[in-house]
Amino acid sequence: MTAGCGMSIDELLDGNAKLVNSALDSVLPSGERAHSIIYDAMRYSAMDGGKRIRPFLTLEFCRLAGGDVKAALPYACAIECVHTYSLIHDDLPCMDDDDERRGKPSSHIKFGEANALLAGDALLTYAFALASENPFADAARNMRAVSIIAEAAGYDGMIGGQVLDIMYSGREAALDELVEMERKKTGELIAAACALGLTAADAPEEMYSSARTYAYNIGLAFQLIDDILDADELPDDGGDGTTMLAVMTAEEARGFASALTEGAVMAVRGYERSDALVELAHWLLHRNA
């Protein structure tokens, strides 16, 4: 698959990941202090690779609106800090209790539970500093960026979705309940990543609606494919009320994800420079890991 500029979506993802990794490395705290274990814990998780999908969306929506990626990069780093904080907290014993993340010991295994909790808190708060102090955008755009992040990560956003996940654990949830849970838990941060790119570009207001549609659709499709892949690895998985496969078959889930992907594509296809976003939506649908 190529994304308009002659590069495949994998090449675009890799190129954007390198750009974001370099930026994160330059802005994350380092040095020797009495408390520098928190620097190490922040870097351990934030520099742990991955495809950097959310920063990719920030940069690509800035490009979509004709903006300068330089203005979007601090926002891209900020949204990745929020995402990393959520992963650290998800892995804690009081949440999902996962000892590994991307083939490495989770933060609480490496640094202890208290330091992992604080590293997540530090990354979340640092995200607001990165957004508010973006030197390549004016104060109004930076203020909007802070508001976008706060709303997406907060009690009616990602945290609200996590609360619903806890509530539905151990009991069957209806499809509409699961869709709402995933929209909050996953979709809101993806929507924020898209909106931050538009904010960096000072895009017209009508573009934000298309961005939200795209984001919510790829977010739910992403989760559906995740549930299918997890079920393939763990055949007994699916009895948990918080997986979409509790209310539909894998075949139905794939069909639902495909329809969502087409909805995402339709939301952005009318814009110039949308090829990368279209290819990303298809790449997320057809991934196998």
Closest C-alpha among 31, 30, 148 to residue 78: 148
Taking the C-alpha atoms of residue 160 and residue 43, their distance in angstroms, rounded to an integer, is 27
Question: Which residues, in sequence order, are CB contacts of 16 under 8 Å at separation 6+?
Answer: 52, 55, 56, 59, 60
In the chain, % of residues over pLDDT 70: 95
187 near 220, Cβ under 8 Å? yes
The residue range of the domain holding 269 is 9-286
198 near 62, Cβ under 8 Å? yes
Domain assignment present for residue 262? The answer is yes
pLDDT on residue 232: 73
| pLDDT tens-place string over residues 142-162 | 999 999 999 999 999 999 999
Both structure tokens of 99: 């000892």
Domain assignment present for residue 4? The answer is no
Domain assignment present for residue 235? The answer is yes
Taking the C-alpha atoms of residue 123 and residue 53, their distance in angstroms, rounded to an integer, is 18
Question: Is the pLDDT reported for residue 6 higher than 80?
Answer: no
pLDDT, mean of residues 81-86: 98
138 alpha carbon, distance to own chain's centre = 25
Domain assignment present for residue 84? The answer is yes
Domain assignment present for residue 209? The answer is yes
Helix ranges (H only) for 92-205 are 107-111, 113-132, 139-153, 158-168, 175-182, 188-200
97 near 225, Cβ under 8 Å? no
Check residue 67 and report its DSSP letter: -
100 phi and psi angles, rounded to 5 deg: -130, 150
pLDDT on residue 45: 97
Question: Which residues, in sequence order, are CB contacts of 130 under 8 Å at separation 6+?
Answer: 27, 74, 75, 77, 78, 81
Question: Which residues, in sequence order, are CB contacts of 53 under 8 Å at separation 6+?
Answer: 13, 190, 193, 280, 284
Element (H, E) at 105: strand 104-105
CATH number at residue 148: 1.10.600.10
| pLDDT tens-place string over residues 26-65 | 999 999 999 999 999 999 999 998 899 999 999 999 999 9
Domain assignment present for residue 1? The answer is no
pLDDT on residue 238: 41
pLDDT, mean of residues 185-198: 98
Domain count within the chain:
1
Domain assignment present for residue 3? The answer is no
Question: Is the pLDDT reported for residue 5 higher than 80?
Answer: no
| Residue 19 Cα distances to 73, 138, 149, 274, 285, angstroms | 9, 22, 21, 20, 24
pLDDT on residue 237: 44
pLDDT, mean of residues 179-193: 97
Longest dimension (CA), the chain: 54
The burial class, CB within 10 Å (0-12 / 13-18 / 19+), for 9 is buried
Domain assignment present for residue 234? The answer is yes
DSSP string spanning 216-256? HHHHHHHHHHHHHHHHHHSTTTT-STTSGGGTS-HHHHHHH
Question: What is the C-alpha radius of gyration for the chain, rounded to an integer number of angstroms?
Answer: 18
Taking the C-alpha atoms of residue 110 and residue 260, their distance in angstroms, rounded to an integer, is 38
